[in-house]
Amino acid sequence: MLMKLRLALWLLGLLLKRALRRKPRFAEQLKDMRGLAFGIATEDLSIARHYRMTPSAIHSATGLPTDLDLELRFADAATALAVLKKPTSRAFFDGMRRNKVRLVGDSADMTRLQKLLRQL
């Protein structure tokens, strides 16, 4: 399960970079947002990856720096995979209600991120 989550987070970085190159609507939305830095991790930080998106480039690396706009923390790898496979607002809110998902940062940034992820 841990390797699946690591692979999924790595692939998310590739998909974001590809969308920036190939999808004008994605690039336009990112430009309007003036960038976003977010991270995804398990609660125990055994798996953590962050993404820095600017209108000109997207960078992805392991770990969670302290200066991110938004962090998504999941109780475990299985929960993370289940929610990330279908990243709907309802899935996030249900996870938060059951204390399986924790949002660190502004919920407005979460809305902005979901808008971008729809373009993938």
Site of tokens 């790595």: 10
- What pLDDT was estimated at residue 89? 79
Question: At residue 15, does pLDDT exceed 90?
Answer: yes
Question: At residue 87, does pLDDT exceed 80?
Answer: no
The whole-angstrom separation of Cα 102 and Cα 98 is 10
- DSSP conformational letter for 94: H
- What pLDDT was estimated at residue 40? 96
Question: How many domains does the chain contain in total?
Answer: 1
The whole-angstrom separation of Cα 32 and Cα 77 is 32
Q: What is the residue range of 34's domain?
A: 2-118
CA angle 62, 64, 68 (to 5 degrees): 125
- What pLDDT was estimated at residue 116? 87
Listed residue (4, 78, 67) closest to 38, CA to CA: 67
- What pLDDT was estimated at residue 65? 94
* Average pLDDT of the chain to the nearest whole number: 92
Q: Where are the beta strands (DSSP E) in the chain?
A: 36-42, 48-53, 58-62, 70-74, 101-105
- What pLDDT was estimated at residue 91? 85
- CATH for 87: 3.30.1050.10
What is this structure's pTM? 0.91
Mean per-residue pLDDT for 17-43?
A: 94
